Amino acid sequence: MVYLTIFLTFVYYGCLCFGGGSALVPIYIEDLVNNRHWMTLEEFGNLIAISQMTPGPIGVNAATFFGYQYGGIFGGFLATCGLLLVPFFLMILVVRSLDRWSQTRLVNGIMDGLRPAVFGMIVASLVIYLGLSVFTEPIPWDKILRWKPELPPSFSINPAALILFIISTILFARTRIAIITVIFLSALAGAFFCR
């Protein structure tokens, strides 16, 4: 019964997470923390911190953790499967429809609008990444947009991270070097110079 509850709960979350795994965070807080009291807000905060530092998508991390708390290893497995179930079939349905209707005017119109939107999203993800690496904290847009920007004293540039960022950009843009090599070397350099 516990297993069924876990599975169905995460199937439900899987249907809700439009816009990627980070869209799940407010849903988790509202439903799991405030409504069901499956875990406290503090525990949830720790989980998010761990998720950002460990490999893997944040949505799977959180699902595994919740599932484990309520049903052990098998619970974690069920939660992960539940979360991925509906998107799996919806994705395949969408890919098939795209193949069938890709020549129609409607699909072309939608694609013409979505392409620049995705470009904007990717640029935004770069800015967010920079706030977690080259800058010491997320860029305070609300302060910058005021007439006289007053940056908080804790906001500054990490020069070693900036150099790693520039080098890896050049490597990725100009060579066919494998991503894993660059990420690994940059992490190694970061361990000594970005402390």
Instruction: List the interface residues with other proteins, window 15-54 (CB under 8 A).
Output: 15-23, 50-54
Interactions with other proteins, residue window 76-95 (CB under 8 A) = 76-77, 80, 83-84, 86-88, 90-92, 94-95
DSSP secondary-structure letter at 176?
-
Options 111, 143, 157, 159; binder of other proteins; rule CB under 8 A: 111
120 belongs to the binding site for other proteins (CB under 8 A): yes
Place of tokens 């539940």: 82
Q: Which residue, 6, 107, 119, 13, is CA-closest to 58?
A: 13
Which pairs from 72-81 meet CB under 8 Å and 24+ separation?
74/3, 75/2, 75/3, 75/6, 78/3, 78/6, 78/7, 78/10, 79/6, 79/7, 79/9, 79/10, 80/10, 81/7, 81/10
Interactions with other proteins, residue window 132-191 (CB under 8 A) = 132-134, 141-142, 145, 158, 161-162, 164-173, 176, 178-180, 182-191
Q: How far is the CB of 79 from other proteins (least distance, A)?
A: 10
Q: How far is the CB of 42 from other proteins (least distance, A)?
A: 15
Q: Cβ closer to other proteins: 91 or 151? A: 91
Q: Cβ closer to other proteins: 33 or 84? A: 84
Options 69, 70, 140, 155; binder of other proteins; rule CB under 8 A: 69
Distance (Å, whole) CA 151 – CA 134: 16
Q: Cβ closer to other proteins: 8 or 15? A: 15
